Amino acid sequence: MSKLAERMKELRVENKMKQTEVAKAVGVSISAYCSYEYGNRDPQTATLVALAQLYHVSADYLLGISEPAPEEKARIILASNSPRRKELLGQMGIQEFKVSAPNVDESVAEGLSPARIVEELSQRKARAAKKAGPKNIVTAADTVVALDGLVLGKPRSGEDAAGNAAILDDLERAAQMDPSLPLPRSAYEEVCALAGRKPALPQGPELKEEFLPGYRKDPVTHAIGALRLTLPGAYRYQWERWETGGAHLWTDGDGPVWRVNAYRMREGDARFTDQLNTLHGVEQRELKGGALRWGWHEIREDGQRLYQAQCEVVAGPSLFFLTATCASPEDLGQVADLIGRVAVVSSTAHRETVQAQKE
């Protein structure tokens, strides 16, 4: 293994990052990144520079040309300007520390638990503050407000911001229509403060019932033609462009990567292909309006062993081809559960739905 590959792995492990996280941070595919870390390929200059910036080291250090300069002694870095966190360090007897409050992107994937959001944002701040070498001790923290498991506060996405704004607008509209109406005013003021919005509700009775402001991302059912694929809400969608054509792609950056292609017969109904005949554990079941067949096999991508489920769904003249690619065989259990939720709608129901949307 080359010195570059060794140091890429050392720095990634030292920073407690996953290969998928590093690949996303430097703008390459996971397969390309793995080929760099395994020593099968060398990254381009732009990728090398991005890696150096990510880990706050020089490109020469990554290439093994130079070693980091020796440090006089380790320092404690507080990655926050919070007076409360400075106070907590003082209460622990730590008086000598340097404050380095980095400005990091605080958007996170939808569907994460409050604890996971705090952990991820704290890690980002710690990595950004770690500029003086591996000997320094960096402490970072973050705070989120949650109500019944629902994270309130700084919008994690444009969709979150729109959801919060719509709820606040509705409450203000209701108060204008009837000022005596009981409303969740405390929760309203909290969300306004977190969103940087000036409260506009007049004084009035407080609604004592449970109120869940903001935006919650539950499992989402995605429609591709007649196909209905339900995935966890944390999964993000993108169109993956290929040299010829492309695929619908969903990923959460850690779990199985889902892809869907859709085909339509010019004449007659679609049929299953022979492509799944050599897979392990092939199963077939009938669906209302169609049928489904799936199995799994091992594949290798840039020297890495992966596990891929393949699924075909037929619905009238349409054939849908789904894949779910996993890094671990344990992930196939979740894939099987999600494939079990796949459904199709009949062409008649699909036409009626489209017509209703138009109306």
Q: For 115-119, 154-158, 353-357, which range has the lowest pLDDT when averaged over its residues?
A: 353-357
Tell me how far apart the alpha carbons of residues 114 and 157 are, in angstroms, rounded to a whole number.
Answer: 15
What is the rounded average pLDDT of the residues 13-40? 84
Tell me how far apart the alpha carbons of residues 347 and 269 are, in angstroms, rounded to a whole number.
Answer: 12
Q: Which two tokens stand for residue 2?
A: 């080359």
Q: For 49-63, 96-110, 118-132, 241-255, which range has the lowest pLDDT when averaged over its residues?
A: 96-110
The pLDDT value recorded for residue 128 is 75
**Catalytic residue flag (residue 142):** yes
What is the rounded average pLDDT of the residues 326-335? 87
Q: For 133-147, 168-182, 287-301, 324-338, which range has the lowest pLDDT when averaged over its residues?
A: 133-147
Indicate the pLDDT class of residue 345, thresholds 50, 70 and 90: confident
Most confident range (mean pLDDT) of 54-58, 166-170, 224-228 is 224-228
Yes or no: say if 167 and 213 are a contact pair by the CB < 8 Å rule: yes
The pLDDT value recorded for residue 194 is 63
What is the rounded average pLDDT of the residues 179-188? 84
Yes or no: say if 51 and 26 are a contact pair by the CB < 8 Å rule: yes
Indicate the pLDDT class of residue 155, thresholds 50, 70 and 90: low
Tell me how far apart the alpha carbons of residues 3 and 5 are, in angstroms, rounded to a whole number.
Answer: 5
Cα within 13 Å of Cα(169), Cβ side: 6
**Mean pLDDT of the residues in the chain:** 79
In 3-state terms, what secondary structure has residue 141?
Answer: coil
What is the rounded average pLDDT of the residues 30-54? 85
Indicate the pLDDT class of residue 270, thresholds 50, 70 and 90: very high
- What are the pLDDT digits (tens) for 211-223? 444 434 467 888 8
Query: Domains in the chain and their CATH numbers?
Result: 3-63 (1.10.260.40), 76-143 (3.90.950.10), 220-356 (3.40.1000.10)
Tell me how far apart the alpha carbons of residues 310 and 212 are, in angstroms, rounded to a whole number.
Answer: 39
Q: For 29-38, 109-118, 302-311, 345-354, which range has the lowest pLDDT when averaged over its residues?
A: 345-354
| Predicted confidence (pLDDT) at residue 114 exceeds the cutoff of 90 | no
What DSSP element (H or E) covers 177?
Answer: helix 158-177
Q: Which of 142, 160, 252, 331 is catalytic?
A: 142
Which class for 309: exposed (0-12), middle (13-18), buried (19 or more C-beta within 10 A)?
buried
Q: CA nearest 231: which of 341, 109, 331, 76? A: 341
The pLDDT value recorded for residue 31 is 79
Residue 197 CA, distance from chain mean position: 27
Q: Which two tokens stand for residue 247?
A: 């695929």
What is the rounded average pLDDT of the residues 170-184? 88
pTM for this predicted structure: 0.44
Indicate the pLDDT class of residue 151, thresholds 50, 70 and 90: low
Number of Cβ within a 10 Å radius of residue 109: 20
Yes or no: say if 149 and 113 are a contact pair by the CB < 8 Å rule: yes
